[in-house]
Amino acid sequence: MAKSPMVLVVEDESALADLLRYNLEREGYRVAVAVDGEEALMLSSEAPPDLVLLDWMLPKASGVEVCRRLRARQETRNTPVVMLTARDEESDRVRGLDMGADDYVTKPFSMSELLARIRAVMRRIRPALADDKLSCGDILMDRVAHRVRRGAREVHLGPTEFRILDYLMQHPGRVFSREQLLDAVWGSDVYVEARTVDVHIGRLRKALNESDERDPIRTVRSAGYSLDMATADAA
Ligand code: CA
């Protein structure tokens, strides 16, 4: 089973951060909290979240600055960002959206409205998280039946290869380090050598690719692996 989506809450008011954590966890999300912009950037590079809930007014680095820097990084380039702002001036909203925020909510807000907006952004940007079926190029995954097809061909995968592919298909184009894949697929409480990831990626490639097919898994030197949608589409 894939892990539930992770929301990074960036909020310096601890009472609000606690309230957000409580409500998001009740909705089934995993939650990490950062109390300032620097911590947000650090946490998001350690474990890229599926969505960032970002306060506009933050100590150390402003929400806009955090958003800009998240967008500049490979691993968070496509991560949805919902901004929380006390300001409701049109120019600030436009600026937030210009910096790459996907949506904004003006404080004070109703929790149920905020949760609905988060669900909507998740659905729009990562339909994978809500779906039983994933597709990337000519690869199709049925997560309930545990079946994978490439084109017309059935692909047989071991459980670990299945989980790796599931995770990569949820985040097409995003580069994951071996450590991030270990954490996502094996869990952070299990000790597995980073090389083990290479072994399973090797098996996954062998199962996915027949001789004339293009390899959809990209090895990024000294960084890790990604599922390259453009490559898969071209196959
Ligand atoms: Ca604040």
Centroid of ligand 1 to alpha carbon of 48 (angstroms) = 22
Q: Are 228 and 205 in contact (CB under 8 A)?
A: no
The pLDDT assigned to 85 comes to 84
Domain termination residue (choose one: 129, 150, 179): 129
Q: Is the peptide bond before 108 cis (omega within 30 degrees of 0)?
A: yes
**Residues bordering ligand 1, an ion, CB closer than 5 Å:** 12, 55, 57
Number of domains in the chain: 2
Are 187 and 138 part of one and the same domain? yes
The pLDDT assigned to 131 comes to 63
User: For the chain, how many residues are written?
Assistant: 235
**Locus of tokens 């072994």:** 199
Q: The pTM is what?
A: 0.56
The pLDDT assigned to 35 comes to 95
Centroid of ligand 1 to alpha carbon of 185 (angstroms) = 34
Centroid of ligand 1 to alpha carbon of 34 (angstroms) = 11
pLDDT tens, residue order, the chain (235 aa): 456 789 999 999 999 999 999 999 988 889 999 999 999 999 999 988 999 999 988 888 888 899 999 988 888 888 889 989 876 666 666 677 777 788 888 888 888 889 888 888 887 766 655 567 888 889 999 877 789 999 899 999 998 999 999 999 888 888 999 988 988 888 766 778 888 999 999 999 999 998 788 899 999 888 899 998 664 444 3
Give dist(CA 117, CA 54) in Å, integer: 13
Centroid of ligand 1 to alpha carbon of 58 (angstroms) = 5
- Strands 81-85, 103-106: pairing kind: parallel
Range of the domain at 15: 6-129
Q: Is residue 45 part of a domain?
A: yes
The pLDDT assigned to 235 comes to 38
Residue 175: CATH number of its domain: 1.10.10.10
- Strands 153-155, 147-150: pairing kind: antiparallel
Give dist(CA 42, CA 34) in Å, integer: 9
Domain termination residue (choose one: 59, 94, 129): 129
- For the chain, where are the alpha helices, taking DSSP H only? 14-26, 37-46, 63-72, 90-98, 111-125, 127-130, 159-170, 178-181, 194-208, 229-234
Taking alpha carbons only, the member of 130, 122, 129 closest to residue 102 is 122
Give dist(CA 55, CA 78) in Å, integer: 18
The pLDDT assigned to 128 comes to 57
Q: Is residue 1 part of a domain?
A: no
The pLDDT assigned to 14 comes to 94
Are 104 and 137 part of one and the same domain? no
Are 41 and 124 part of one and the same domain? yes
The pLDDT assigned to 191 comes to 79
Centroid of ligand 1 to alpha carbon of 84 (angstroms) = 9
Helix (H) or strand (E) holding 229: helix 229-234
Centroid of ligand 1 to alpha carbon of 55 (angstroms) = 6
Round the CA-based radius of gyration of the chain to a whole number and report it: 19
Are 70 and 115 part of one and the same domain? yes
